[in-house]
Amino acid sequence: MSATPEAAPAARARRRARPRVNLTRWAKGGGLHAVLFAVPVVVVYLYFSWGPVVQGLVFSFQKTNLIRPAEWVGWSNFEYVLGDPGLVQASLNTAYFALLALVFGFPIPIILAVLVTELRKYDTLYNALAYLPAVIPPVAAILLWKFFYDPDSTGLFNSVLGWFGLGPYPWLNDSSSAMPSIVLYATWAGAGSTAIIYIAALATVRTELYEAAEIDGAGIWRRIWHITLPQLRGVIFVMMLLQLIGTFQIFSEPFLFTGGGPNNATQTILLKIYNYAFVNGDFGAATALSVLLALALGLLSAVYYFVTRKWSAA
Amino acid sequence: MPKLSRRQVLVAGSVGAAAMATAGCSDPGGDAATEALDPSAKVSISVGDQPTEDKPDQLAAFNKRIEEFKAANQNIAVEASPEKWEAQTFQAKLAGGTLPTVMGVSLTYSHELIENGQLPDMTPYLDELGLVADLNPLALDNAKDDGGKIYTIPTGLFSVGIAYNRAIFAKAGLDPDTPPATWEDVRAFARQIKAKVGGVTPYAQMTTNNTGGWMLTTMTYSLGGRVQNDAGTEAVMGQQTIDALQLLHDMRWGDDTMGREFLYDQEAVRQAFAGGTIGMVLQAPDCYFTVVKDYGFDPADYGQGALPQGGAGGNGTLTGGTLKLFDAKATPNQLLAAAKWIKFYDFDKYYDQAAALADAESNAANNSPVGLPGLPPVSQAVYDRYLGWIKPHINVPLEQFTGYTAATLPLIAEPPAGTQQTYAALDPVVQQILTDEGADIVRAVADANATVKGIIDQAAR
Amino acid sequence: MTLTGKPSRARRKAGEAKERGVISTTDRKRPIVRTWFTIVQTILLIVLIITGLGPLLWSAKASISSSNAIVTEPMGIWFTPAEWGNLLLAWNGAQIGRSLINTVILAVGSTASTLIVSVAAAYLLSVLRPKWGPILSGAILATLFLPGVISFVPLYLTILDMPLLHIGLQDTFWAVWLPAGASAFNVVVLKRFFDSIPREYMEAAKIDGAGPIRILTMVVLPLSRPILGVIVLLSVVGSWKEFLWPMLVLSNPELQPVSVMLPKLAAGNSPLSVQMAAVFLSILVPVVIFAIFQKQFLRGVGSAGGIKG
C-alpha cells in the first residue's frame, strides 16, 4: 500500500472548499474532462457488465428459456442448486485444483527464473524455449496433450515412461490422477510466461546485498533464501493473486480434457454452471449458482485482503 | 396481409417473443396461419448442416442440391449455413434465435423442445406438402404433442446395436458372421479376444458428453429395465441397471477386457474403432458411415449386430435419430419453404425414382455409403420400394449387417423428461464403475435415481 | 499489494551488461559449483527443449503420418511421411491461416479495448477524482467478484440486440472486443499504480499549462509503461485462450479464431491425421512469428517485471 495517503484528502478538501457557482467554473475545474473520461467507461460497463449482471440476478429467480414468458419461481433455483449432490464435490475439486496449481505452478516458474538469471551465456535461448508453450494456442495444446495422455501402453507418455520400466499410467482415466494430470498441463502451459515476469523482476534485485552476504560467509542457498526471495516479495504477491483468480475460473482445461470426468473428479464449479446453462438450458439454475460463487469469492477475497495486508505491508 | 399473419403465428408459436413484440394482440387462430400462406411469395430461408470445407465432395454434393432446389423454387432464396448442432452453444443460440430456419438436432431433444414451446407447430405446412401420411408412425410419435400437433420432422432414425471388427473376430477365432446376441456372449467373446489378440480393447464403452448415460439407458433397456416411467414423472432404475453396471464392472475389473481408455464419447470411440483397436462397441449402423467415409476404415472389417439382450422380459433396444429443428420465430412462408427444402433434400428420393437414382449415384460417385440399414423415416412399404430402385448402387456390404437387420427387437423410446440432462447425470455413474474397483453399484444407482428425480422435478416446475 | 514502479531503474538495468547474480565470480571458479552448475544447466536445457519444442516436433511428425500410425505408434521414429495431403486439407478445411489472423485481430482489439477503458477509468478515479468517483469505483469493484458466467447468457442477448441502440453485434469482432473492455481487475491494478505516481509531476505539468489529457499522455502513461506491459500481456494471453465466448458470438467461420476452429474439427469427424495437421499448423505459425520477433517480444514482456515491492 504505497499510495500517497496525504495527497488524497488534501485534494478533496481543496475541491470541497471551492464554491460551486456556475457551469463554466465546473467545466474549467475539470468537471467536463471527468465526464469525458467517464463516458466510455460507463457505457462499456453498463452494456457489458452491470446490465448483464443485473439481468443475470433476475434470471436466478426465474424459470425462463427466453422463448416462453419467464415465470418467477422465488428461491427454488437456489434450493435446486444447493440440493444438487454434485455441488460439494465440484467445490472441493475447485479448491483441490487451486491447491495443486499453487504447489506446482507457483514454485516452478520462480526456480526457472532464478536459474536462467544465473546463466552467463545463451540466456535468451533458454528464455525463448521457456516461453514457447505460451505461444502455442491453448486449444491446440490441449488437443495434443489429450492425445499424449492416452492411457494405453502405446500412448505417448506411457511409451516414453515404458522405456524406463514405468507405467502404464491411466492419467485422465482415473479419479485420483485426472486432476493432477490437468494441473501438470496447466503448469507446462503457464510456467514460461510467469517465469519471464520473474526474470525481469530479478533484474532489479539489488546485487550489493549479495556481495555483503558473501563477505559474511553466506552460501548460495542462503543468499537465495534470504536475499533473492524477499526482494521478489511484491511481484510474487501479485502473481499469486493472479494465479488464485485464474484457478477459480478454471474451465477450458477440464472442459476440453475430461468434460468433468471420470466420475466427476474434475467437475469444477464453473463447469457445473456451464452445464446447467448450456447442456440443460436451465439459465435460472446457472445464474443462481453464479450468484453463490460470487458471494463465496467476495468473502474469500476479503479474507485474503485482511490476512495479507499485514504481510505485504511488513 | 402478411404482416398480420406473421404476428399471429408469433403469438401461436412463441408467446414470449410475441409478448414483447406485439403486446395486446391476442387472437391465436391456428388456421389463420395457413390462410395467410402464400406458397409462391418471395421468401428467404437459411438451412444448416452444410458440410465444412475439409470434406470437399460432401460439400459439393450439398451445394449442388441447394442449386437444384433454388432452380425448382424460384421464389425461395436459400442460404446455406455451416451451422450445425453443437452441445456447447446450442441452448444459447436457441435462446438467442440465431439458428438457421431449419437444421438437424438429436431426436433426444424433441420432448423437451416441444414442451418448452421452442418449436413451431408444423402441422399446417406438413399437411400442405402432404408429407405426413407416409411418415413412419413410430418416428412421428416423437414429433407430436398430446394434442396430435406435429412440431418437427424426424429423419435418419436408428436403433442401437453393436458394431464389431470382423478382422479381430477372425483373429480371435470367432465367427465374423455371428455377432454376440446376449450379454453373456459379449463377455465370452471379449475374453476370447483378449486371450487371442494383443493390443486391442475387446469391448469399449462410451462414457462422456452424455453418451455414458445414453448407453447405460440402452443397456438397461436390453435387460428389460427402464430409466424413467413412461409419463416421465419418476426415475425407475432398478435391478436391470444394477446388472448392467455389474456386468461392466466384471468385464473391467474381473476379465480386464475393456482396455484402459474410459473417457470415450461418440467421436473418440468411432475414431478408435476405425483405428482397428476396438473389438466391439455399442453403436447404431450409422457408425459405418463415419468410420468408413470419414476415418477410412476398411468396409470389409465392419460388422453390425443387433443390441445384445438379457434379463427376464420387457427387453428391447433404444431408438434415436435426428429431428429437423425449425425456427420458432420464422414466418409461415419461411416455415413452408423450409419444410419444402426438407421434403426435397430428405424425402423426395423415397417417392421419385429419378431423384432416388440421382441421389444414390451422386453418393456412390463420391464413395459415400448407399443403402445403409437403419429405421426408415417413411413407412416400410415406401422404403422397400425405394430400396428396389437404388439396388444397383448399393455399396454397403449388407451381408455384414444381417445380425442387425434380421433382428426384430422391440423399439423403446428414450426417457421423456429432461432427456439430455438425465443422460448427463448418468455419465459419472458409468465412469465411476469403470475407474473405481470398489464402487458401490447399488448405492450409485440409488443416488442416480435421486439425481434424475431432481432433474425431472426441476424440468416440470 | 505494492505496485510501486521503479521503471527508470529497470530500464537502466536492462541496457547494461549483466551484473553479478546470486552466484559470484569467485563461486563460479570453484570446481564443485562449476560442475553442479553445468549439470543443472544441461538438464534444464534438455527439459526446456522437450517441453518447448517437443509438441511442435511431434505434431509435425503426426501431421504427415496416417491416422493409424499416430494411434498405434506415437513415438515411432521411423515413419513414412505418406500423407502430405493432410496439411493441405487442414489448411483449407480448417482455414488455419484465416483463423490465425482472426485470433490476432481478436487479441489486439480486446487488448486495445481493455487498455482504453481501464486507463480512462483509472485516470478518472485516481487523478481527476470527481465527486461521484467513489460510486463509480464501487460499481466497478463489485464486478470483480462476479464470475463471468453469471452474465454469460444476458451478455449474449445484449450482443444480439443492444438495448436502446438496437444494434446487433453478433458475427462482428466488436462482440468480442467490447466486453473485453470491462475488466475490473485491470482498473484496480492501474488505479493503484497511478496512485503511486508522485503528484508533484502532475502539478508541475499543470503549472506548465497542460490539461488533463496532456498530463495523461505526457506524464502518467510514460511512467506507467511497466504496468501497461503487464496488462497487455495478461489480456493477450487471456484472449489467446478464450474459446467459449467467440464460439458463441462468431458463428461465421470467416471470423472464427483458431481456438474455435480446432475443437470443431475434432468434433466434426475429421480424421485424426487431419486434426493433427491442423494442430501442427496452428502451432507452427505463431512459433515462427515468435522466433522472428523473439527479442522484441521478450523485452516487451520483460518490462512487466518492473512491478516490484
C22–A228 CB contact, under 8 Å: yes
Percentage of chain C beyond pLDDT 70 is 81
B52–C93 CB contact, under 8 Å: yes
B130 backbone dihedrals φ, ψ, rounded to 5°: 65, 35
Using CB atoms, list chains with 3+ pairs below 8 Å to chain A: B, C
B263 backbone dihedrals φ, ψ, rounded to 5°: -125, 40
Using CB atoms, list chains with 3+ pairs below 8 Å to chain B: A, C
**Residue C269 zone, left/alpha/beta (φ > 0; ψ -120 to 50; rest):** left
pLDDT confidence band for B29 (50 / 70 / 90):
very low
Per-residue pLDDT tens digits for B253-302: 999 999 988 989 888 899 889 888 899 999 999 999 989 988 889 999 99
Instruction: Identify any residues that bridge with B264 across adjacent strands, giving them in sequence order.
Output: B206
Distance, CA of B85 to CA of B106 (rounded, Å): 8
Domain that holds residue B339: 37-90+99-154+321-358
Q: Which helix (H) or strand (E) holds C58?
A: helix C31-63
B92–A263 CB contact, under 8 Å: no
Of C52, C124, C286, the CB nearest to A37: C124
B96–C160 CB contact, under 8 Å: yes
Nearest CA in chain C to B199: C72
The answer to whether C193 touches C304, Cβ cutoff 8 Å, is: no
Contacts with B415 (C-beta within 8 Å, 6 or more apart), sequence order = B217, B226, B227, B228, B232, B422
**What single DSSP character describes residue B393?**
G
Number of domains in chain B: 2
Pick among B46, B52, B54, B93 to test the C interface (most C CBs inside 10 A): B54
Residues B130 and B170 in one domain: no
**pTM: predicted TM-score of the whole model, two decimal places:** 0.81
Q: What is the interface size between B and C, counted as CB pairs within 8 Å? A: 72
Per-residue pLDDT tens digits for A17-60: 454 556 666 666 667 788 888 899 999 999 998 998 888 888 88
Of B431, B450, B455, the CB nearest to A261: B431
Distance, CA of C177 to CA of A45 (rounded, Å): 13
Instruction: Please tell me if residue B217 touches chain A, with a CB cutoff of 8 Å.
Output: no
Instruction: Please tell me if residue B95 touches chain C, with a CB cutoff of 8 Å.
Output: yes
Residues of B in contact with A179 (CB under 8 A): none
Cell numbers given for B108: 433426444
The Cα of C241 is separated from the nearest Cα of chain B by a number of Å equal to 16
Of C94, C95, C267, the CB nearest to B267: C267
C150–A291 CB contact, under 8 Å: yes
Per-residue pLDDT tens digits for B332-368: 999 999 999 999 998 989 988 999 998 899 888 888 8
* B 322-341 → A contacts, CB under 8 A: 328
Asked if the model's pLDDT at residue A150 lies above 90, the reply is no
The answer to whether C4 touches C192, Cβ cutoff 8 Å, is: no
The answer to whether A287 touches A59, Cβ cutoff 8 Å, is: yes
pLDDT of residue A71: 84
Structural domain boundaries of chain C? 95-269
Asked if the model's pLDDT at residue B377 lies above 50, the reply is yes
Instruction: Please tell me if residue A170 touches chain B, with a CB cutoff of 8 Å.
Output: yes
Among B269, B292, B289, smallest CA distance to B279 is for: B269
B91–A279 CB contact, under 8 Å: yes
Distance, CA of A268 to CA of A247 (rounded, Å): 10
Contacts with B321 (C-beta within 8 Å, 6 or more apart), sequence order = B106, B107, B139, B142, B154, B155, B156, B157, B158, B375, B377
* A 137-166 → B contacts, CB under 8 A: 150-154
Residues B305 and B431 in one domain: yes
Residues of A in contact with C158 (CB under 8 A): 47-48, 51-52
pLDDT of residue B301: 95
Residues B169 and B293 in one domain: yes
pLDDT of residue B30: 39
Radius of gyration for the alpha carbons in chain A, expressed in angstroms and rounded: 26
Asked if the model's pLDDT at residue C6 lies above 70, the reply is no
Asked if the model's pLDDT at residue B237 lies above 90, the reply is yes
Instruction: Please tell me if residue A259 touches chain B, with a CB cutoff of 8 Å.
Output: yes
The answer to whether B439 touches B430, Cβ cutoff 8 Å, is: no
**What single DSSP character describes residue A274?**
H
pLDDT confidence band for B16 (50 / 70 / 90):
very low
CA angle, B17 then B21 then B24, to 5°: 105
Cell numbers given for C217: 499522455
Confirm whether B189 is domain-assigned. yes
* A274-279 contacts, C-beta under 8 A, 24 or more apart: A274/C149, A274/C244, A275/B424, A276/A81, A277/B91, A277/B92, A277/C149, A277/C152, A277/C153, A278/B87, A278/B88, A278/B89, A278/B90, A278/B91, A278/B92, A279/B87, A279/B91, A279/B210, A279/B420, A279/B421, A279/B424
Among B155, B134, B75, smallest CA distance to B325 is for: B155
Per-residue pLDDT tens digits for B427-447: 999 999 999 999 999 999 999
Highest mean pLDDT among A260-264, B345-349, C80-84: B345-349
Mark A161-182 as b/e (b = at least 16 C-beta within 10 Å).
Answer: eeeeeebbbbbbbbbebbbbbb
Mean pLDDT of B35-43: 78
Instruction: Please tell me if residue B210 touches chain A, with a CB cutoff of 8 Å.
Output: yes
Instruction: Please tell me if residue C158 touches chain B, with a CB cutoff of 8 Å.
Output: no
The Cα of A127 is separated from the nearest Cα of chain B by a number of Å equal to 36
The answer to whether A175 touches A262, Cβ cutoff 8 Å, is: yes
Distance, CA of B168 to CA of B182 (rounded, Å): 19
B282 by DSSP, 3-state: which? strand
CATH number at B313 reads: 3.40.190.10
A173–B450 CB contact, under 8 Å: no
Asked if the model's pLDDT at residue C202 lies above 50, the reply is yes
Residues B122 and B80 in one domain: yes
pLDDT confidence band for A6 (50 / 70 / 90):
very low
**Residue A157 zone, left/alpha/beta (φ > 0; ψ -120 to 50; rest):** alpha
Distance, CA of A45 to CA of A39 (rounded, Å): 10
> To the nearest whole number, what is the mean pLDDT of chain C?
79
CA distances from B100 to B61, B143, B324, B335, C263 (A): 20, 19, 11, 11, 21
Among A126, A244, A121, smallest CA distance to A196 is for: A126
Among B429, C261, C255, smallest CA distance to A262 is for: B429
B82–C253 CB contact, under 8 Å: yes
| Lowest-confidence segment of A277-281, B286-290, B372-376, B438-442 by average pLDDT | A277-281
Q: Which fold has domain A86-313?
A: MetI-like fold (1.10.3720)
Residues B250 and B334 in one domain: no
Residues B246 and B262 in one domain: yes
Mean pLDDT of C231-235: 80
Q: What is the interface size between A and C, counted as CB pairs within 8 Å? A: 338
Per-residue pLDDT tens digits for C238-265: 787 788 888 888 877 788 898 888 877 7
A173–B260 CB contact, under 8 Å: yes
Residues of A in contact with B455 (CB under 8 A): 280
Contacts with B315 (C-beta within 8 Å, 6 or more apart), sequence order = B221, B222, B223, B224, B309, B409, B410
Residues of C in contact with A148 (CB under 8 A): 74
C154 by DSSP, 3-state: which? helix
Confirm whether B405 is domain-assigned. no
Residues B312 and B341 in one domain: no
Q: What is the interface size between A and B, counted as CB pairs within 8 Å? A: 123
C247–B52 CB contact, under 8 Å: no
Pairing of strands B161-165, B278-283: antiparallel
A128–C41 CB contact, under 8 Å: no
Pick among B114, B206, B260, B457 to test the A interface (most A CBs inside 10 A): B260
Asked if the model's pLDDT at residue A135 lies above 80, the reply is yes
Contacts with A136 (C-beta within 8 Å, 6 or more apart), sequence order = A189, C55, C56, C283, C286, C287
Residues B174 and B205 in one domain: yes
Of B435, B447, B458, the CB nearest to A173: B435
Instruction: Please tell me if residue B117 touches chain C, with a CB cutoff of 8 Å.
Output: no
Helix then strand count (H, E) for chain A reads: 18, 2
A48–C178 CB contact, under 8 Å: yes
Quickly count: other Cβ atoms within 10 Å of residue B5's Cβ. Answer: 20
Residues B342 and B313 in one domain: no
Per-residue pLDDT tens digits for A206-243: 777 888 888 888 778 888 888 888 888 777 877 777 67
Nearest CA in chain C to A200: C305
Distance, CA of C52 to CA of B388 (rounded, Å): 59
Residues of C in contact with A233 (CB under 8 A): 309
Distance, CA of B138 to CA of B247 (rounded, Å): 31
Instruction: Please tell me if residue C98 touches chain B, with a CB cutoff of 8 Å.
Output: no
Of B87, B118, B428, the CB nearest to A263: B428
Instruction: Please tell me if residue C160 touches chain B, with a CB cutoff of 8 Å.
Output: yes
The Cα of C270 is separated from the nearest Cα of chain A by a number of Å equal to 13
The Cα of A6 is separated from the nearest Cα of chain C by a number of Å equal to 10
Q: What CATH class does C95-269 carry?
A: mainly alpha
Alpha helices per DSSP H over B130-196: 137-141, 166-171, 183-196
Residues of C in contact with A250 (CB under 8 A): none
Instruction: Please tell me if residue B16 touches chain A, with a CB cutoff of 8 Å.
Output: yes
* C161-166 contacts, C-beta under 8 A, 24 or more apart: C162/A47, C163/A47, C163/A51
The answer to whether C286 touches A135, Cβ cutoff 8 Å, is: yes
Nearest CA in chain C to B88: C244
Of B91, B207, B451, the CB nearest to A85: B451
Residues B205 and B344 in one domain: no
The answer to whether C128 touches A34, Cβ cutoff 8 Å, is: yes
Residues B244 and B103 in one domain: no
B88–C244 CB contact, under 8 Å: yes
The Cα of B90 is separated from the nearest Cα of chain A by a number of Å equal to 7
Percentage of chain B beyond pLDDT 90 is 49
Instruction: Please tell me if residue B96 touches chain C, with a CB cutoff of 8 Å.
Output: yes
pLDDT of residue C168: 84
pLDDT confidence band for B106 (50 / 70 / 90):
confident
Per-residue pLDDT tens digits for B209-218: 889 999 999 9
Nearest CA in chain C to B53: C93
Q: Hey, what amino acid is at C234?
A: L
pLDDT of residue C149: 63
The Cα of B104 is separated from the nearest Cα of chain A by a number of Å equal to 17
